[in-house]
Copies of this chain bind each other. A is one copy, B any other.
Amino acid sequence: MKYAAPINDMLFVMNELAGLEDISALPGFEDASAETAQAVLEESAKFCGEVLAPLNFLGDQNPSVWKDGVVSATPGFGDAFRLFGQGGWQGVQHLPEYSGQGLPKLIATPCVEMLNAANLSFALCPLLTDGAIEALLTAGTEAQKQVYVPKLISGVWTGTMNLTEPQAGSDLSQIRTRAEPQQDGTYKLFGTKIYITWGEHDMAENIVHLVLARTPGSPDGVKGISLFLVPKFLVDNDGATGERNDVHCISIEHKLGIKASPTAVLQFGDHGGAIGHLVGKENHGLEYMFIMMNAARFAVGMQGVGISDRAYQKAVEYAKDRVQSRPVDSSSKHPVSIIHHPDVRRMLATMRAMTEASRALAYVAAAHCDLAHRHPDGNVRIGHQAVYEYLVPIVKGWSTELAIEVTNLGIQVHGGMGYIEETGAAQFFRDARILTIYEGTTAIQANDLVGRKTVRDQGAVARQLLVGIDATIDALRSGEGGAFSSMRRHLAQGRKSLAAIIEYVLDKSQTDPNAVFAGTVLYLKLAGYVLGGWQMARAMIVADQRQKEDPSFYGAKIATGQFFAEHLLSQAPALEIAIVSANGAEGVLALSEDQF
């Protein structure tokens, strides 16, 4: 099963929609030119296509195996992970002082997309390691950073995030894992953590667990949670590893997909206590965790984009290859490849439009993140940070919901073959299904979008984005033909629906929270379609100006934009109706528990 990274589309989005030129102009990013970006993407595409993609199906057929507490990764994964580390791929966006490449998130993001498109199970290990790196860089002591971060970036060690417990899933206030302070300044941890991705494996020399736990006498709820670093093998001050720590994998899950990535149940302290180090300040664990979660949530959004693109590529390949039935317009007396059948074409166009829109929105978000970190003007930084934070739950929630639809269509394009596991389309569907659940379900993303991202600033960022959409609606006048007028009509309607819902959310969030929260996921989807549609519209405008340079590429941008407008953005009014219908929450909450 091949994977060819869509480098041209990635570069188009980076250069034309996400403003790579502006990012390259930021202090510290002087080397991040369009040429550098292209070179990095080409190298990444080579590694992902040649090393990781061929292991993907193998990982599904030969999942990680647990035996007596030891987890063996799928054969070939360990070697690939070493190449990954040696290639510097863990450190694309991390600081050079910790052995990173120091490139913008805008360049790291397509690399992450490729990684996930090539092999979602594999990509989870770097994803979680990135989370651990972020946490240490945010809240660790200088000594912790020096000892742990370079090892994580070089791929010698990997990292994990330990949040969930059996009774504490989405609700972290219920965490019970204890951390008892010791005389030497360390802590001993006791408790059970579940759903720990790559929580135990044999691909690296050590595993650095970042663990949420409570110290004695800490406040109830989320205000009493601290963050600890618990290495699998104890680490001395020089970074040398020693004794095995008291954290053990007691089982791994039997899952619907991402089977090569072990999902561990970790037991801390069954043999005297797992030795851990406090990261940052006591009782501030959730705050640090949110920093890593924002990064991880964005990355999961990229998993959605990546697997969508992979499923799309596979479906296109099959549709061009499989010959079946004569064309409905009688243009041939013989059976043709199924890509000539209008409904197959519609499915492929849907997959493509969803993938391109979610990619564009994510890359634009990545650029805001870079500007938020590197822009010389503090106020500008704050502004971009706010936009980035507004977009993260949408990139995570919307892209992953789309990934389920895209991989579902991918099976349908294959017909009966799609249901046979050997074909591989089913694996994408199974793998994608976790994406709307982990790192916060779509509802959790939507609650974040409403609470922290819309209500807290009284809709300031949301309204600012609407102003940007207005400018694009205006600019669409310049394009000729039905595609532009169609996009203009549907983007204007979508903008209107989104604006109405933002006001509805602001209006009702205090007085009728049930009404708002009954529709938060729909608000998230609406925002995704409108903001994604906005990027498709911007792409059309650029394509219109450039069309002569490459009629095939730019013509496809215009056609795909039109399709997005008519088939996807056109759903905005129905989402608005569902959210604000006269009886809003009454409609959703009308039934009593007994009536279900």
User: Which residues of A are in contact with B by a Cβ distance under 8 Å?
Assistant: 164, 169-171, 174, 194-195, 253-257, 316, 319-320, 324-326, 328-330, 335, 337, 339-346, 348-349, 352, 404, 408, 411-412, 415-416, 418-422, 426, 429-430, 433-434, 436-438, 441-443, 446-447, 482-483, 485-486, 490, 513-514, 516-522, 552, 555-556, 559-560, 562-563, 566-567, 570-571, 573-574, 577-578, 581-583, 585-596
Pick the residue among B330, B415, B433, B592 that contacts A170 (CB under 8 A).
Answer: B415
**Contacts A324-B170, A325-B170, A412-B441; is A566 near B581 (CB within 8 Å)?**
yes
Bound CA span A345–B517, Å: 10
Top 4 closest pairs, chain A to chain B, by CB: A559-B590, A342-B518, A566-B581, A171-B325
Nearest-Cβ distance from residue A253 to partner chain B, whole angstroms: 5
A516 to B590, CA, bound (A): 40
A583 near B486: Cβ-Cβ < 8 Å: yes
CB contacts (< 8 Å) of A174 on chain B: these are 324, 335
Q: Contact check: which of B194, B421, B485, B521 meets A346 at CB < 8 Å? A: B521
Q: Check if A255 sits within 8 Å of B582, measured CB to CB.
A: no
Contact of A343 among B256, B418, B517, B592 (CB under 8 A): B517
For A168, give the chain B residue with the smallest CB separation.
Answer: B324
CB <8 Å contact, A339 and B588: no
CB distance from A369 to the nearest CB of B (A): 27
Q: Which of B195, B482, B560, B566 contacts A591 (CB 8 A)?
A: B560
| Minimum CB distance partner of A195 in chain B | B416
Cβ contacts A to B, 21 pairs, < 8 Å = A171-B335, A253-B420, A254-B421, A255-B420, A256-B411, A320-B593, A342-B520, A343-B443, A343-B517, A343-B518, A345-B518, A346-B518, A346-B588, A412-B437, A416-B437, A426-B433, A482-B583, A490-B577, A556-B595, A559-B595, A563-B590
* Chain A residues touching B, majority SS: helix
Which residues of chain B are within 8 angstroms of A595 by Cβ–Cβ distance? Answer: 552, 555-556, 559
- In the assembled complex, which residues on chain B have CB atoms less than 8 Å from the CB atom of A486? 581-583
The reply to whether B329 and A513 contact each other, CB–CB distance below 8 Å, is: yes
Given contacts A518-B345, A583-B486, A595-B552, contact A171 B438 (CB under 8 A): no
B-chain residues with CB within 8 Å of residue A560 when the two chains form the complex: 591
Closest chain-B Cβ to A62's Cβ sits at a distance in Å of 14
CA distance A319 to B443 in the complex (A): 14
> Interface centre among A415, A483, A486, A556, by most B CB within 10 Å?
A415
B520-A343 in contact (CB<8A) = yes
Chain B residues whose C-beta falls within 8 Å of the C-beta of A324 in the assembled complex: 169-171, 174
CA A426 to CA B255, docked complex, whole Å: 9
A566: which of B343, B438, B587 is its contact (CB, 8 Å)?
B587
Question: Measured between alpha carbons, how far is A195 from B195 in the docked complex, in Å?
Answer: 37
Hey, which chain B residues are within 8 Å of A422, CB to CB? 254
Are B590 and A328 touching (Cβ within 8 A)? no
Q: Could you say which of A560, A562, A567 has the most chain B C-beta atoms within 10 Å of its C-beta? A: A567
Q: Are A578 and B567 in contact (CB under 8 A)?
A: yes
Q: Which residues of B contact A573 (CB under 8 A)?
A: 573-574
Say whether B419 contacts A256, CB under 8 Å.
yes
Known: A170-B325, A513-B328, A596-B320. A419 touches B346 (CB 8 A): no
Chain B residue nearest to A324 in the complex (CB): B171
With A574-B571, A587-B559 known to touch, is A438 a contact of B412 (CB < 8 Å)? Answer: no
Q: Determine how close the nearest CB of chain B comes to the CB of A453; give it in whole angstroms.
A: 16
Given contacts A404-B408, A415-B441, A573-B573, contact A517 B328 (CB under 8 A): yes
Nearest residue in B to A580 (C-beta to C-beta)?
B566
With both chains docked as a complex, state the minimum distance between the C-beta of A275 and any C-beta of chain B, in angstroms.
28
Decide: B588 and A342 in contact? CB cutoff 8 A.
yes
Say whether, besides A255-B420, A415-B169, A588 and B563 are in contact (CB < 8 Å): yes
Knowing A329-B513, A404-B408, A412-B436, say if A429 contacts B570 (CB, 8 Å).
Answer: no
Contact A329 B562 (CB under 8 A): no
A416 lies within 8 A of B438 (CB)? yes
A555 surroundings in chain B (CB, below 8 A):
595
* Beta-carbon contact of A556 and B591 below 8 Å: yes
Within the complex, what minimum Cβ distance (angstroms) separates A316 from chain B? 5
Least Cβ distance of A556 to chain B in Å? 4
Q: Inside 8 A of A596's CB, which chain B residues have their CB?
A: 316, 319-320, 339, 348, 352
Given contacts A346-B588, A404-B408, A589-B345, contact A570 B563 (CB under 8 A): no
Whether B412 contacts A434 by the Cβ 8 Å rule is no
Residues of B within 8 A of A325 (CB): 170-171
CB-based nearest B residue for A320:
B593
CA distance A422 to B399 in the complex (A): 27
**A268 vs chain B, min Cβ distance (A):** 19
Q: Are B430 and A256 in contact (CB under 8 A)?
A: yes
In the bound complex, how far is the Cα of B595 from the Cα of A559, in angstroms? 10
Q: A339-B596, A343-B517, A562-B587 are in contact. List 8 more A-B contacts (CB 8 A).
A: A170-B324, A254-B420, A257-B419, A328-B516, A340-B593, A341-B517, A486-B582, A566-B578
CA distance A330 to B566 in the complex (A): 41
Contacting residues, chain B, for A562 (C-beta < 8 A): 583, 587, 590
- The distance in angstroms between the C-alpha atoms of A581 and B485, with both chains bound, is 11
Closest chain B residue to A595 by CB distance? B556
